[in-house]
Every structure is written in C-alpha cells, then in structure tokens.
A and B are shown apart, each in its own frame.
Chain A
C-alpha cells in the first residue's frame, strides 16, 4: 500500500548514534519527517504536544524506559492508536512477550539490518491500512 512519505516519526533512544542510524534508515526508506527524543519522558512530552504518527523506541533508557513509554502511550486516549515499534538489545523471551502484551506493534532485536526495519514497518503499515 502507498504510505504517506510525510508520515511523522519519533525516534526514541538514549544513544545519539542509534537515533542517527534509525533516522538515516528511515530516510532511505523515504521518510524524512523524523524527530528524536533521548528518553521515554521526553518522548512522552513530545508526543503529547501532538503531530506524531509513528514511534520507534529503544527499551533500556534513563528516566523512562521504552516499555513504560509504550504502556503510557496505550493508556493515553489521544495517543493509544499510535503504532510503536521497539528496537532493542533486550533479547529475552519474556521481554518480547511483555512488549507484545503491552501492545507493541513490532519488535526488532539489535543488531538489526535495514531490511528488517523495512519489513517490520511495512507489516505495521499493512495492519494500519486494515484497521
């Protein structure tokens, strides 16, 4: 399906390098409308200010971690519809299950490839199209 290239992303990670890599990968996929946040607390502030349509977040971050961010998003009426893709080094099965149960739209383990990101995004877009 055709996805609006103007789709506004928020990339949340405490490492600037990783934010930059995700931003570059999104750019390669045609998405240039990207903002960044360095932890869950800042992300939540930015999201509440409005205008975002997609969240890509790390798990382990200071102040507010990615799972708490996800739970907060799902518990906030005007944010709960937002797709949230987790990109994290946490690779325990219980992590993946916890994320899924909290309503994550996708889960990618680091290190990951551009192909994986593209595939997961498309899968989420497909679901959004149906929903």
Chain B
C-alpha cells in the first residue's frame, strides 16, 4: 500500500548483498563484460557497457591482478575501487561517444523525479476525492427520483383499482405532469453533471501516465548501469534470493508466480483448503 515498500525491499536486498561481500571477500576478478542485465535495456547502453568493459580489461590491469590476499584492500574498498575505475572509464568513453550530454540530462532529471512522483500522488488523490464527492451528490438525486416515481406509481395503481375520486385523480395528473416536466429533468440534469464530473476526474491518467513514463525511463537507465556492477559484485547464490516479508504491496505482475493469489476466489479456496 505504501510507496516506501519497494525501497525497504531494496534496502534489505542491499543489506544482504553488503553482508555477503563482507564475509566472503571475493578477490577482484578481471572484469567480465557486464553479463547482460536482465532487463531489456536498449542496445546503445549495452554496446556502451561492452566498450567500457573491454577497455577496462586492457588498460587497467592493476586492479584486475590485485592478489586475493591483498590485506590492504578490504572487500568493500576493492568494490569501491572498481566502481571508481569503471566510473572513470565510463566517463571517458561517454565523452568519446558523445553520451556525456545524455547522462548529464539523466542526472539532472533525478532530483526532479521525487517531485514528479509527489505530483502523481497528488493528482490521483484529487481525482479520487472528486469522484467520491460526485457520487455523494448524485446518489441522493437518484434516490429522490426513484422515491418520487414509486409514490406516483402507487397512486396510479390506486386509480386503476378505482380507489381515487375525480379530484384526487386531477391532483395526481397534475403532480405527475410536474414530476415529469420539472422535477425529473432537473434531477437527471444534475445527475448528468455529476457523471460528467466523474468522467472529467479521470483526466489525471493522461498527466500521471506521462510523468510515470518519464520516471520509468530514468529508472531503467540507472538500473541498467547499476545492474552491471551488482552482477559482478554479488555471488551467484545471492542473486536469485528473493527478499521475503509480509508487506510487499500489490502484486504488479503475477505471471509465472505460484506464491500469490490473483483473485478473491483463490483467497477463498486457499482458506477453505486449510480449514479456516
């Protein structure tokens, strides 16, 4: 439910990774070409990374051949060191390829991302309030119409059962006319206005959609870069380990997962099968 859910997951993942690095203190290995990060990142970045990695192996043999027992380097330091070298290489290569402008744009977009997300939260909340307000206004209108129609209908039933005097009939006819010509159109118009309000409240989707798309692109760019570093620094066994807790928020993609339910029926079946 809460937005910080993901970040705490990531933090836990990060902690587990950090702990692991400390314990196993892997000797720095020659840098592999950053084995394909699992996201479908764009070819440009992949190519860029390959270039960087290739150059790194050739031009920075010092870090690559650091002896495993090199007591001078703690595990973290060696990781930082490698990241530092990669950053330098990346920087140079980017310059050469003319990507520095692109990265500059990405970085300058970061502080903006928080504001954008706040904007999304704000717009969606406003929309929810507008819709709920509209239904609060429209519900009594519809109730009134239904009540009025039911009352008139009952009196017409009496008429057809010959239970009304001529005067009562005249009165009923007059009231029915007023109901049809005035009350009803007035209330349907007012209801219609609320339906329009509900429709218009959906305009946030266009705005938030654009903002979210931008942030997703930004996140993807960052992810593909960081992923390469992580894949090198994290031992195989850790990679697949899932962060486990009971507050994961909505399941964004249930495809291929057997540990989650996708509808209420599955909840009920599960509880039934356990005898609850």
> What is the interface of chain A, defined by CB distance below 8 A to chain B?
13-15, 17, 20-21, 24, 58-62, 65, 67, 88-98, 100, 107-110, 112, 116
- Complexed CA–CA distance, A89 and B248 (Å): 9
Q: How far is the CB of A9 from chain B (nearest CB, A)?
A: 18
| CB-defined contacts of B5 to chain A, threshold 8 Å | 60
B259 touches A89 (CB 8 A): no
Tell which of A15, A21, A61, A109 touches B267, judged by Cβ atoms closer than 8 Å.
A109
B270 touches A97 (CB 8 A): yes
Q: Which of B126-177 contact A (CB under 8 A)?
A: 128-129, 132, 135
A107 touches B267 (CB 8 A): yes
Q: How far is the CB of B208 from chain A (nearest CB, A)?
A: 15
| CB-defined contacts of A20 to chain B, threshold 8 Å | 132
Q: How far is the CB of A94 from chain B (nearest CB, A)?
A: 7
> What is the interface of chain B, defined by CB distance below 8 A to chain A?
1-2, 5, 125, 128-129, 132, 135, 246-251, 254, 259-264, 267, 270-271, 274, 276
- Complexed CA–CA distance, A94 and B267 (Å): 11
A-B contact pairs, 8 of them (CB 8 A): A59-B1, A89-B251, A90-B247, A91-B250, A91-B261, A96-B271, A109-B267, A112-B264
| CB-defined contacts of B254 to chain A, threshold 8 Å | 91
- Complexed CA–CA distance, A85 and B274 (Å): 18
Tell which of A14, A58, A94 touches B246, judged by Cβ atoms closer than 8 Å.
A94
A91 touches B1 (CB 8 A): no
B2 touches A60 (CB 8 A): yes
Q: How far is the CB of A20 from chain B (nearest CB, A)?
A: 5
| CB-defined contacts of A100 to chain B, threshold 8 Å | 271, 274, 276
Give the nearest-CB partner of B261 in chain A.
Answer: A91
B276 touches A60 (CB 8 A): no
The 5 closest A-B pairs by CB, nearest first: A89-B250, A60-B1, A17-B128, A100-B276, A60-B247
A93 touches B246 (CB 8 A): no
